[in-house]
Structure 1
């Protein structure tokens, strides 16, 4: 892989997540009944950051949970005979809630579909919305994000890499040529 460019730095990520937090508040007319669920792995710290931004704006904590989509993937048979599932619980109540799924990159839509299946397995939310830091196109399923940090048109021979301080000790979004 060859690095083509850094698309977003740490300051731009912070600004983008603050904007997404404002959009979530506006669209839902406040934060009553809103919960955030981060899609593991990098969606979870992003969900926490959005929750922190919402708390600064609204002065109220918002529940944050996480979802492991391993058992809900449509390619489960190709990733191994015994997939590793870290935890099945979401960590928060979702019944009759406005669930905002949070992920780092929206690409084919398959991860988002698996996350929706996992959430519904745990209860029936009022609404499910999707927030992503990056939408790179190339959908294979009819899925679109309700909140997009940045649209980055890519080719299929490129890779968008999101690095977050909580996992990678740096905040950046980079584009690589495969």
Structure 2
């Protein structure tokens, strides 16, 4: 059984608030770039960029990072379970820029750690900030988001899934019990 914890309107409100917070914390958007973690983080980054452009009257660059080769669980995968590499696309140098890394759900912190490694391979940012739609806790690494759409206390027996229209044809965040295998 699943329960919706954010609907389309709540997601839109959270993203609008995060956009304002990004602008405020960075005193505008000069020298800033939004970088979404594949897959849903990219769509959230694009939505944030649209909101920021409406507020500031100028566009902010959006890039995407693929963490496939930076994951710390690749050695536990079987030979038949080869990683699918989707590529990183950041148009300009991130060196000396303020990078706002964006993901949908923050859980253990391992995805963000992999994304940080991938970013550093592309340059040396002046600053990296983290924006997430959902922070569900249970960190295994010392990673803390700067911008949060919603904190959702969970148990480890639960799964939080963000669904976005661009990928899932619906905007919602649901929480459900893990299924036993």
Within the candidate set 18, 21, 24, 1:26 is matched to 24
For 2:72 and 2:130, locate their aligned partners in 1 and report how far apart those are by CA, in whole Å.
Answer: 19
Q: Scaled by the length of structure 1, what TM-score is found? A: 0.96
For 1:65 and 1:122, locate their aligned partners in 2 and report how far apart those are by CA, in whole Å.
Answer: 12
Unaligned runs of 5+ in 2: none
Are the equivalent residues in 2 in contact too, given 1:64–1:92 (CA < 8 A)? no
Residue 36 of structure 1 is matched in structure 2 by 34
Alignment of 1:41-120 (within 5 A): 41-81=39-79, 82-120=82-120
Alignment RMSD, CA only? 1.0
Measured against aligned partners, the alpha-carbon deviations of 1:43-98 in whole angstroms (never above 9, x if no partner) come to 00000000000001000000000000011111111234442211144334211110
Are the equivalent residues in 2 in contact too, given 1:105–1:135 (CA < 8 A)? yes
Matched, 1:158 2:143: no
Are the equivalent residues in 1 in contact too, given 2:23–2:29 (CA < 8 A)? yes
Q: Scaled by the length of structure 2, what TM-score is found? A: 0.94
Q: Extract structure 1 runs of 4+ deviating beyond 4 A.
A: none
Deviates more, 1:86-95 or 1:5-14: 86-95
Are the equivalent residues in 2 in contact too, given 1:39–1:66 (CA < 8 A)? yes
Deviates more, 1:88-97 or 1:35-44: 88-97
Within the candidate set 8, 11, 28, 2:9 is matched to 11
Residue 124 of structure 1 is matched in structure 2 by 124
For 1:92 and 1:58, locate their aligned partners in 2 and report how far apart those are by CA, in whole Å.
Answer: 21
SS in 2 for 1:26: helix
Deviates more, 1:70-79 or 1:31-40: 70-79
For 2:65 and 2:146, locate their aligned partners in 1 and report how far apart those are by CA, in whole Å.
Answer: 19
Q: When the two structures are aligned, how many residues end up with a matched partner?
A: 176
Are the equivalent residues in 1 in contact too, given 2:109–2:142 (CA < 8 A)? yes
